[in-house]
Amino acid sequence: MSPGRLSFLVLIIIASSACTIYGGSDVDFQVINNSPTTKGGVRFMHEVGLNYTRYKMAVASQFIWQNIFHQYKPCDRRNYQQVKLFINVFNASKVAYTGSGEIYFSANYLEKYPTRYLRREFTGIMYREMARVWQWNGDGQANPGLIDGIANYVRMKANLAPVGQSTKPKCGGRWDQGGDVTARFLDYCDSMRKGFVADLNMKMKYSYSDNYFQQLLGKSVNQVWRQYKKKYNRG
């Protein structure tokens, strides 16, 4: 074997090893209750729990990697070695938000939510926020409504949509409106191309363009949106 050929094979082996090691799946999940004496913080400890939350963060991550984004190799994923979830008191208008591998969940929201569905609601929101942790965002170029829609798509596919939310397609005003409007539109796109959301997410690793819809579906996103609205005849 020529030295050049040998060097090429060595590079392939090194790259393959890096793909196995980089961003490994042994993520450290931590849960910190910063509001232990508030009503919401107390309810979290009694009705949800630290151990349950850590376990579900790991389960949600596997669900997202395997079932939604099809990121079977660690090097395809965002490289967070640690993900933290905090229970905090903050603006009551916010339920949860995520940034840089950290999830902040409102103790205010937990305080007021009906007991019967509290754990389920918490889990659904946590799945949504875990999606935000792991999804690509086009290096900050992607439309916030699309990012939000993908996160809600994950929650929907985990069968953890809010109690009482309609399971029927919901058109809304724009395809990138966010929430369950965009989530159900993405589900329609996935019916046109199996694995669409996974393919779209992978394309968004370094950049974003609405033209990705054209590349994946053969139609512009606005064409697909009009087709979707016509099919379900909803404003």
Q: How confident is the model at residue 133 (pLDDT cuts 50, 70, 90)?
A: very high
Give the pair of three-digit tokens for residue 183. Answer: 């989530």
* 123 shares a domain with 43: yes
Q: How confident is the model at residue 173 (pLDDT cuts 50, 70, 90)?
A: confident
Domain hosting residue 216, numbered range: 138-235
41 within domain boundaries = yes
Tell me, what's the pLDDT at 165?
A: 78
Tell me, what's the pLDDT at 19?
A: 52
**Residue 93 three-state SS:** coil
Q: What is the chain's Cα-based Rg? A: 20
* 129 shares a domain with 33: yes
| Number of residues written out for the chain | 235
* 116 shares a domain with 36: yes
Tell me, what's the pLDDT at 8?
A: 40
DSSP state of 45: I
| Number of domains the chain is built from | 2
pLDDT single digits (tens) 36-55:
999 999 999 999 999 999 99
49 within domain boundaries = yes
Contact status, residue 25 vs residue 79, Cβ threshold 8 Å: no
* 202 shares a domain with 144: yes
* 216 shares a domain with 202: yes
* 92 shares a domain with 168: no
Final residue before a domain boundary, out of 87, 117, 134: 134
DSSP state of 95: -
Predicted TM-score (pTM) above 0.75: yes
Final residue before a domain boundary, out of 88, 114, 134: 134
* 153 shares a domain with 116: no
* 99 shares a domain with 28: yes
1 within domain boundaries = no
Q: How confident is the model at residue 7 (pLDDT cuts 50, 70, 90)?
A: very low
CB atoms within 10 A of CB 87: 26
11 within domain boundaries = no
* 171: pLDDT strictly greater than 80: no
> What is the enclosing helix (H) or strand (E) of 105?
strand 102-106
In degrees, to the nearest 5, what angle opens at C-alpha 189 toward C-alphas 187 and 191?
75
Per-position b or e across 17-45, b if 16+ CB within 10 A of its CB: eeeeeebeeebebebebebeebebbbbbe
How is 150-205 classified by DSSP, letter by letter?
HHHHHHHHTT-PPTT---S----S-TT--HHHHHHHHHHHHHHSTTHHHHHHHHTT
Longest dimension (CA), the chain: 71
